Amino acid sequence: MIACLRLFTALCLAALLAACASSPSSSLGELPRTPDASIEQLLDQAAKSKTPEEAALLRLSAADLAYRQGNAGQSAQILQQVPVETLKPGPQVFASTLAAELAMVRNQPKAALTALSHPSLQRLSELPVEQQVRTGTVHARALEADGQTLAAARERIFIAPMLEGEAASKNHEAIWTLIASLPTDQLQPTTTDDLGGWMGLALAVKSAGTLEQQQAAIDNWRAQNPKHPAAIQLPLPLTKLKELASQPLGKIALLLPQDGPLASVGKALREGFMAAHYQAQQAGQKPPAIEFYDSSKLTSMDEFYRKAQADGVQLVVGPLEKPLVKQLSTRPQLPITTLALNYSEGEQGPAQLFQFGLAAEDEAREVSRRARADGLHRAAIMVPKGEWGDRVLKAFSQDWQANGGSIVATERVDQPVQLAQQIADMFQLRQSEGRAKSLQSTVGGQVAAQPSRRQDIEFIFLAATPQQAQQIKPTLNFQYAGDVPVYATSHVFSASGDVNQYNDMNGIRFCETPWLLDANDPLRKQVTAQWPQAGGSLGRLYAMGVDAYRLAPRLGQLKALPDSRIEGQSGSLGMTQNQRVVRQLPWAQFVNGQVQRLPDTPR
């Protein structure tokens, strides 16, 4: 009887082993094990291995160990010694994943995606969960770095059920960050799966205006999707929104200069700010109380904050003066959240400091964006000599080249008498004239030759005053370059209504604040009726004052929702990671002495 049982057990075991050998998983091959040896010991064992497969697995273990220890160079070196194509699919997936991780260390997402396109990845779902998570994670990171935001979110949603603990929480927050960064036109949920739910939540939040409306939208979405992962665990930024909605803003300090060289700027900002405040009152809202402080009489920022705290201030709007903003940006923290109305030179300030201004750099980047949207690739640049021109040039060049554009010529404008020569040099007209003269001397006699310009300049980026632009555009026409499109910052537009001036700039396209391009806006009509100067170039400051008021209660909202925007009077407002408010602007063109609004392009 016992002998029979032994025979039966042996037969079962043999059958089980045979099944394992013929099952699909056996054809995958072994994955490298987590070693308890050093890199050197693993490599030594690999050199002494009896089979190529065993040697390859040991080297993969060594390469992985080097990567985990932070030695990417050594890891890549070892990985190169592994004959990946001779391996079974399992170790091939492992090697491709490691190659992708190493590419991401070098900040090469396209190389990572190429590594993850290996045919073996088609069998990833047959491998252990740990390997699926590891591969899925680096795939999501590479897609995000390559600008494929939706695909990255889809990858993270796929691996979410396989995760637990801190890894699950981090992945959950990463999904929301990705989905929330998508523009509204991409947030059209067409499915009822988890991805559709995430997109529906982001669309609901972005479509609502005030914090209260956003909170209602979140509550409504959760009621409709109670089993969705984001309903079970609300992403942290949305939890912060809930906290913000329960803490309404009661009192704002408006800190602006009332005397000195910036008094007129301060006055325009203050009048715009208060116009928005009165509009909110008229609309039946309960706006915060406004307390006025004169920054031109400040002796100490510490003293100001002490007084503001004693007065019950919850948010400071200002200061305007750059030295004061710079001073605040160097502090480790501020006693009251502050929206400065200028920018410091440093990148990151204290957590309580937000910065907002009419930065020319924003407009330079806006020109870069618009030219790309219009299908252009090769730019020439004309900016004024000096520090301001250098800043604008740098902002445009960085954004333009980072997005694949090329710069074929640059001229710094200074003296009007040099303009014709500078433009001729930019378009290489003198070389054309020289070729004509050379031809004349060769063939003898007169040769009818019109100077020809270089053809590789697709457009000119211009940052200049109206007076400079009035000279530059006619000179371009005279120098056979009148057909080259000119894209300019708002500085070319005086908003004076001077038809002769506009005629001299015929064809120039420029970005501008919505305030100056929409004379029918109800608030602008009210303000210009009381302060006519708000309809001219000072209007940009009135618009900034209006937007400072509208930004005040929504700073936390912009911070909590990456890539969300407020449609303001000074532009479409968003926030960078270092808490700087940045603007995108609409476009117009000078056409026969008039300003003509141009259609918007996708952002």
Q: Are residues 466 and 444 in the same domain?
A: yes
Q: How many CA atoms lie within 13 A of 10 on its CB side?
A: 6
Instruction: Kindly tell me if the per-residue pLDDT of 437 is higher than 70.
Output: no
Residues 472 and 423 in one domain: yes
Q: Are residues 474 and 337 in the same domain?
A: no
Query: Is 507 domain-assigned?
Result: yes
387 and 336 within one domain: no
* 417 and 472, same domain (yes or no): yes
Among the three residues 298, 320, 350, which one is the final residue of a domain in this structure?
Answer: 350
Domain finish residue from 320, 350, 380: 350
CATH number at residue 336: 3.40.50.2300
Question: Are residues 342 and 366 both part of a single domain?
Answer: no
Average pLDDT over residues 400-429: 83
Same domain, 344 and 365: no
Q: Is the pLDDT of residue 453 over 60?
A: no
Residue of 333, 330, 334, 321 lying closest to 294 (CA atoms)? 321
Instruction: Report if residue 136 sits inside a domain.
Output: no
Same domain for 281 and 416? no
- Give pLDDT tens digits for 347-392: 678 999 999 999 999 999 999 999 998 999 999 999 999 999 999 9
Q: How far is CA 204 from CA 175, 182, 219, 390, 455, in A?
A: 16, 13, 10, 42, 49
pLDDT in tens, 469-522: 998 988 888 776 778 999 999 999 999 999 999 999 999 999 999 999 998 899
For 150-159, write each residue's pLDDT tens digit: 999 999 999 9
Range scoring the smallest mean pLDDT among 45-54, 205-214, 422-431: 422-431
Instruction: Output the CA–CA distances (angstroms, integers) from residue 110 to 123, 141, 437, 447, in the order listed.
Output: 22, 11, 51, 54
- Tell me the residue type at 485: P
Query: Mean per-residue pLDDT for 434-440?
Result: 42
pLDDT, mean of residues 179-190: 80
Whole-angstrom distance between the N-terminal and C-terminal Cα of the chain? 81
3-state secondary structure of 56: helix
Please tell me whether residues 382 and 476 are part of one structural domain: yes
Last residue of a domain, one of 315, 350, 385: 350
Q: Does the residue 142 lie in any domain?
A: no
Which residue range(s) make up the domain with 279? 251-350
The strand ranges marked E within 157-288 are 251-256
Q: 370 with 507, same domain? A: yes
Domain count, the chain: 2
| pTM assigned to the model | 0.69
